[in-house]
């Protein structure tokens, strides 16, 4: 009988070691998400610790050969705690599946090949209520050692990051996908980032972007959505320089105002008034370029009429070098003089148009070759770190 008790005691000690390992493993995996101490995972881990302590105590108790009644009481206590633990785990799983507690829910952005990264205690995930093109929720991968960047550090990161190289495709890769990817890339690079959801007035579709709390310029909104879509419409000019637009943009987000976008290399100020002035300058340039294009069209029409008049004059002369009829001579002479006058005027207009085009291109280079339309008036902004 004593040998059986000792064998059972050693079995309890072995189970206690296993239970302790389970408790540590659960704490490690639950600990990868901020806020787990405030959720039911804490109670699960705590129950595992209590049961392991009871198993150790029970094994030690049996090996020491205490009174049988005390043995039975210890075993009963262990059974009670195991049952309670099973109930806690069942409640926790059911609570997780059917309701939302205050802890940050887990998501699955890390593959099996990232197991070492997943096991790092400084990496945790956060699932949002925003949906990507695939229908799955946005999942943020955060790094506890990520820090707020300076403005120059943020610009350097965005220039190196290739999120904006993706193409917007409805149902394949949309603004939520862009914002999730940029967030996770920034965090992996040691830069603290936020996912931002923006709602607009009327029936305009919501939009997703990112935010960074820079150390020298404060909160900066970044929109890297690219492609020909309703979320980011690029309007390059007819210059070749406008055909290669970089889609890393600074977003100007103020509730009650239009959602503004500007190329990051032109956003020298983050004030909304700066964006409004920039937008007015763009509109003025647009009007001036339209006026220029009208002048070019008029010049081309006049140049074509001049060429037709030259052909008519040459046909009238017919290759002759001497005109004997005085009236015909005077008529052809007048045609020739008119052509000379028109040619001089056209040459002057061409020079003026060339100079005008240079000024427009210089102004265009100052403002940037790309312009994005506003998505609408902002009604609500949600920032998720």
Nearest to 346 by CA among 293, 302, 294, 314: 302
Provide CB contacts within 8 A for 196, sequence distance 6+.
179, 208, 209, 210, 211, 221, 253, 381, 382, 383, 384
Q: Cα 124 vs. chain centroid, distance in angstroms? A: 19
Burial call 90-105: b when 16+ CB within 10 Å, e when fewer: eebeeebeeeeeebbb
Burial call 50-84: b when 16+ CB within 10 Å, e when fewer: bbbebbbbbbebbbeeeeeeebeebbeebeebbee
Q: Are 70 and 61 in contact (CB under 8 A)?
A: yes
Q: Domain 112-266+373-384 falls in which CATH fold?
A: Beta Polymerase; domain 2 (3.30.460)
* Residue reference for tokens 């390059």: 236
Average pLDDT over residues 247-254: 93
Give the global pTM.
Answer: 0.63
Nearest to 232 by CA among 257, 255, 253, 207: 207
Sorting pLDDT into bands at 50, 70 and 90, what band is 122? confident
Domain boundaries, the chain: 2-98, 112-266+373-384, 282-367
Centre a 10 Å sphere on the Cβ of residue 324 and count the other Cβ atoms it contains. 7
Q: Over 70: is that where the pLDDT of 203 sits?
A: yes
The mean pLDDT value of the chain amounts to 79
CA distance 357 to 359: 5
Sorting pLDDT into bands at 50, 70 and 90, what band is 204? confident
Dihedral pair phi/psi, residue 338, rounded to 5°? -60, -40
Q: What is the DSSP letter of 238?
A: S
pLDDT of residue 6: 63
Burial call 142-165: b when 16+ CB within 10 Å, e when fewer: bbeebebbebebbbebbeebebbe
Rg (CA), the chain: 37
pLDDT of residue 233: 46
Give, in order, the Cα–Cα distances in Å from 293 to each of 56, 237, 344, 348.
88, 12, 21, 17
Centre a 10 Å sphere on the Cβ of residue 188 and count the other Cβ atoms it contains. 15
Average pLDDT over residues 107-119: 45
Q: Cα 282 vs. chain centroid, distance in angstroms? A: 25
Beta bridge partners of 252: 260
CA distance 50 to 82: 9
Counting Cα atoms < 13 Å in the Cβ hemisphere of 190 gives: 4
Give, in order, the Cα–Cα distances in Å from 221 to each of 50, 150, 341, 381, 382.
48, 14, 58, 11, 12
pLDDT of residue 3: 66
pLDDT digits (tens, 9 = 90+) for 43-53: 566 666 767 67
Q: Are 130 and 208 in contact (CB under 8 A)?
A: yes
pLDDT digits (tens, 9 = 90+) for 59-86: 666 666 654 555 566 666 666 666 666 6
Q: Quote the tokens at residue 298.
A: 């008029």
């Amino acid at each position: 009988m004593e040998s059986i008790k000792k064998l059972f005691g050693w079995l309890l000690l072995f189970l206690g070691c296993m239970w302790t390992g389970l408790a540590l493993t659960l704490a490690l995996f639950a600990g990868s998400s901020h806020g787990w101490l405030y959720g039911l995972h804490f109670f699960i881990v705590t129950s595992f610790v209590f049961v392991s302590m009871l198993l150790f105590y029970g094994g030690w108790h049996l090996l020491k050969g205490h009174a049988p009644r005390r043995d039975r009481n210890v075993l009963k206590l262990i059974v009670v705690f195991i049952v309670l633990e099973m109930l806690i785990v069942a409640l926790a799983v059911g609570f997780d599946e059917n309701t939302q507690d205050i802890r940050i829910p887990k998501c699955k952005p890390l593959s099996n090949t990232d197991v070492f990264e997943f096991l790092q205690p400084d990496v945790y995930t956060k699932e949002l209520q925003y949906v990507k093109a695939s229908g799955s929720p946005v999942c943020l991968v955060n790094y506890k050692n990520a820090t707020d960047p300076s403005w120059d550090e943020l610009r350097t990161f965005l220039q190196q990051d290739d999120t904006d190289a993706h193409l917007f495709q409805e149902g394949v890769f949309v603004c939520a996908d862009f914002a999730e990817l940029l967030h996770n890339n920034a965090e992996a690079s040691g830069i603290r980032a936020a996912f931002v959801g923006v709602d607009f007035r009327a029936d305009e579709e919501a939009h997703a972007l990112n935010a960074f709390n820079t150390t020298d310029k404060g909160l900066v909104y970044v929109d890297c959505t690219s492609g020909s879509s309703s979320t980011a419409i690029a309007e390059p000019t007819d210059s070749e320089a406008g055909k290669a637009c970089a889609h890393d943009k600074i977003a100007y987000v103020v509730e009650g105002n239009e959602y503004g976008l500007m190329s990051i290399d032109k956003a020298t100020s983050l004030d909304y008034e700066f964006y409004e002035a920039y937008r007015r300058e763009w509109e003025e340039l647009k009007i001036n370029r339209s006026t220029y294009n009208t002048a070019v069209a008029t010049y081309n029409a006049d140049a074509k009429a001049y060429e037709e008049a030259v052909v008519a004059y040459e046909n009238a002369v017919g290759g002759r070098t001497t005109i004997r009829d005085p009236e015909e001579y005077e008529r052809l002479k007048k045609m020739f003089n008119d052509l000379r006058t028109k040619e001089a005027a056209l040459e002057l207009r061409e020079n003026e148009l060339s100079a005008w085009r240079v000024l427009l291109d210089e102004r265009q280079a100052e403002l940037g070759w790309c312009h994005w339309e506003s998505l609408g008036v902002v009604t609500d902004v949600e920032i998720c770190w």
